[in-house]
Structure 1
Amino acid sequence: MMDLRPASPVTGTCSGLLYQGNDWNFEILRDCYDAVADIAERELGLTTYPNRLEIITSEQMLDVYTAHGMPLGYRHWSLGKRFIAHENAYRRGMMGLAYEVVINSDPCISYLMEENSATMQTLVIAHAAFGHNHFFHNNRLFREWTNASEILDYLEFARGYIHQCEERHGIAAVERILDAAHALQGQGVHRHSGSRRLDLRAEQQRAQARRLHEEATFNDLWRTVPVDEEQQPDTTSNDPMRRRLGLPEENLLYFLEKHAPLLAPWEREVIRIVRMIAQYFYPQPQLKMMNEGCATWVHDYIMRRLHENGRIDDASYLEAIHSTSNVITQPDFDAGGGPSFNPYALGFAMMGDIARICTSPTAEDRAWFPEIAGNDRPIETLKHAWAEFRDESFILQYLSPAVMRRFRMFRIHDDTAAPYLLVDAIHDDAGYRDIRRTVAQNHDPANMNAEIEITGANMHTDRMLTLEHRTTRGHQFHADDARRTLQYMADLWGYGVQLLERDADDGTVLATYEATGRGGVRRG
């Protein structure tokens, strides 16, 4: 492991090869880091968290895969299952391993495989320790939703707390809660509520205050009080109970943590841990293309400059080019590419295209991007885009006709009622704009997760919980998946749960699912 402080002010440019051949040692690695940092900070002006590099084996890299890249985490059976699946695929040659994994933390942790050559170690330092690190440090979405300085402390707290729960209540009881929370974690985030940064000290204080409040207010006699059915409030927005519960609520885990009648205090805290970790990772899928495009563009620039400065030889530079080419390959539609784009390929192409537009614009570029065309400030323009956009808005702002032509993009309208496919957006001005909107929609976070809300909770009689899924015909849940996931919801709620699938346009109920706290599920 290497803890690397920010590089000292640059006093000059070193000369001479950093290494020759494939072998490396820690002295060479330090020299490579310093050379990369010199270019990243002096020429590109990148700002980063302090770096920590960890050299690991291929088996340890499989462990990192299993834990979603995090160095700390609580135990769960699914991690072992995932490790075995990855290991079997790797041993059989069905999958390769990443050259590196990087963590959005302070310090920023980059894992480098010890099997890498000296060139690949240099490349991944540029890619992860400076490209990804700069993006983590500066992008607005990461700054507003995450706190890199606290995630490692929170993960350590979470692991210790869940371990204590396993000792006190048994592994089976803890896994029951974790299984259900994991199944619902995609719907366990606040998407529209502003900043939700992790604060370990505040989290611990809130947990203690919540336990004291529950102990002070609990009275088992209240459940024996009879209720007059005629005095039951309705389920409209005028119902004070709905207002008190904050309905409708999009964050299912948050609602369960706060209002599930039968959960013990430790069970609520376990749900909160899963919810807070899911919240931390929430921005990453929205920034996948930009994040990888930024890191790939940065490492490509730095490796080229190292070669131009005589720090790496021709063989090493060719190795770097070969690796980058493999990463940014976009398979054809018929070769397995399908309708999706390789995020490395599209991101890198758009970054390079922005730099070209800033320095050598065409007449078309000037018409489409008058604000940046010919401004001769490519690095400043890229850094602004990396800081202020997410994938959806970045594509809407910067995807150019030149990149669309390079990727041979066109749009097909598939009407299931028609016996043919209609190509309705081609390479003309209107077509370019339609294609750009369609590609951006594929990166819209609203399309990544189903739109589900808790809309009603009958707390006066049977405590039936009502959820609604807003969708369109032909885009409904798979019945088996809906049943299984809804049962996890019922297990945590403790009483009946119903899910209504409604047409987003006219409100028609398309399907109904129900689950009970004892495991029965039926579809209406």
Structure 2
Amino acid sequence: MDYSIEELEYWDDMIERKARDMGLDFYPQEFELVNYENMLGYEAYGGMPSRYPHWSFGKAYERLKTFYTYNLTGLPYEMVINSNPCIAYLMKENTLLLQILTMAHVYAHNDFFKNNRLFKEGTDAEMTLEMFKNHADRVRRYIANPNIGYEGVEKLLNAAHAIRFQIPRVIGEKRNKAMEKSRDLKRVPMEPEDDLLYFLREYGELEEWQRDILEIVEEETRHFIPQIETKIMNEGWASFWHYKILNSMNLPQDLYMEFLDRHNQVVAPVQGAINPYYIGFKMYMDIEKRYGLDKVFEVRSFDRDQSFLRRYLTYELIHDLNLFEYVREGKDIVITEVADDKGWEKIRNTLSDTAGMGAIPYIRVVEMSDKDRTLTLEHVYDGRELELNYACETLKHIVDIWGHKVVLKTLLEGKVKEILCDESKNISLT
């Protein structure tokens, strides 16, 4: 580290003042310096300093460490927690310029967390750290209980993680408890239920600790959904503002040249994939050019990736970004749409439809048999078929929780099919 803490504090103070002068509004900001191993650990745990123990976090850590060791991927320059105060981790191995750039980047993320409606309605920044710590303590108590133990907790967490995104996609939606009490229990559910974790908790033959763990997994998943739903907007916003802030600071020549190089690395296009930093940055720059800075702040406050892309990804941008749509046919890649007068809207719509939670299959509960408790699920078909092997393995996890047969209705090759998983986890397709 070729700089002092005092230097970082000097730049932090300057960046904070610049950010406020430019109109950003954020929680109090705290930074912590960590080494690369700590950064890998925080990334593996989804950015949280304390989470409940589960092997998947260790697996993620080892994978990230291997990739970093063999230079197959870079580390994040920073890790930011959506909390009040906002906590961010800076890697000690970063150069001074990288710390300056990432601090500016962090202040913009902080502003996004505080002001975007999905985070305002779907998360509680005041209680974020306490919630994750409380969850970790509860899970550890179950592990320490000799009547439950690690294996029991791990099996349930494995199953819950497999279906954790099968919860309502309307952020901030509250369940009507009065309606729940007045349900006609002769038909459960009375109408399709899109909260699978809730249904398993309410109607499954579970012990109280099992219901609690399912609720923990759902609460943590709800916390992360706004991040999933705004990945392009959030990273684009941070890139847009670190670019503006650093350009306004009259950096010394050596730092300015490194800044340009690092910024271009962050917002560089990625071959065969979407770089959210790149797409989001270009879109905000275009919105400011066409409508002005007030519109940029308005978009930040009210949109999510799906609406952001559908409203503001123009023909000109798609053409300039060289976006196209393709499918794989065996070992070949076939381009299906290009950014011309006819294809650009299909490209935009595909990006919008598959952004955020749109990339995850939508499964809901349609019936529970009152005879043998067979649970029937329905895949809401949107033109994309389920990956069959993945679907079958997921049904086995649901059986682990439910304890009875589970049937999943879906559309394969234009025909309605039923995938059945029985109590012994035998799979059949009809």
* Mapping of residues 62-211 of structure 1, within 5 Å: 62-128=40-106, 130-168=107-145, 169-187=148-166, 189-192=167-170, 194-195=172-173
Unaligned runs of 5+ in 1: 1-21, 198-205, 207-238, 332-336, 358-371, 373-377
Cα separation, partners in 2 of 1:69 and 1:194, compared to 1, 3 Å: closer
Shift of 1:27: 1.2
CA contact (8 A) 1:468 1:500 kept: yes
1:343-392 deviation digits (Å, cap 9, x = unpaired): 111111111122222xxxxxxxxxxxxxx3xxxxx332211111111112
Asked if 1:345 corresponds to 2:268, the answer is: no
Asked if 1:478 corresponds to 2:387, the answer is: yes
Q: 2-side partners of 1:482 and 1:455: how far apart?
A: 17
Instruction: Give the counterpart of 2:353 among 441, 462, 468.
Output: 441
* Mapping of residues 212-227 of structure 1, within 5 Å: none
Q: 2-side partners of 1:96 and 1:249: how far apart?
A: 41
Q: 1-side partners of 2:286 and 2:319: how far apart?
A: 12
Letter in 2 for 1:329: A
Letter in 2 for 1:466: T
1:273-311 deviation digits (Å, cap 9, x = unpaired): 00110111112121011100100010011111112xxxx
Letter in 2 for 1:440: S
Cα separation, partners in 2 of 1:422 and 1:330, compared to 1, 3 Å: closer
1:46-74 deviation digits (Å, cap 9, x = unpaired): 10011111110001011011101111100
Aligned to 1:320: 259
Aligned with 2:248: secondary structure? Answer: helix
Aligned with 1:185: secondary structure? Answer: coil
Q: 1-side partners of 2:335 and 2:97: how far apart?
A: 48
CA contact (8 A) 1:249 1:255 kept: yes
Unaligned runs of 5+ in 2: 178-182
CA contact (8 A) 2:337 2:347 kept: no
1:433-460 deviation digits (Å, cap 9, x = unpaired): 4543343233264x3221211111013x
Aligned to 1:8: none
Aligned to 1:521: 427
Cα separation, partners in 2 of 1:83 and 1:134, compared to 1, 3 Å: same
Aligned to 2:300: 386
Q: 2-side partners of 1:343 and 1:35: how far apart?
A: 27
CA contact (8 A) 1:496 1:516 kept: yes
Shift of 1:411: 5.6
Calculate the TM-score normalised by the size of structure 1. 0.75
Cα separation, partners in 2 of 1:193 and 1:455, compared to 1, 3 Å: farther
Shift of 1:41: 0.4
Aligned with 1:466: secondary structure? Answer: strand
Cα separation, partners in 2 of 1:69 and 1:480, compared to 1, 3 Å: same
Percent identity for Structure 1 against Structure 2: 32
Instruction: Give the counterpart of 1:290 among 224, 233, 241.
Output: 233
Larger Rg: 1
Aligned with 2:61: secondary structure? Answer: helix
CA contact (8 A) 2:385 2:412 kept: no
Aligned to 1:329: 268
The alignment's C-alpha RMSD in Å is 2.6
Q: 2-side partners of 1:105 and 1:53: how far apart?
A: 13
Aligned to 2:398: 489
Letter in 1 for 2:282: A
Aligned to 1:457: 368
CA contact (8 A) 1:242 1:457 kept: no
Aligned to 2:200: 256
How many residue pairs get matched?
420
Aligned to 1:406: 320
Cα separation, partners in 2 of 1:256 and 1:352, compared to 1, 3 Å: same
Aligned to 1:305: 248
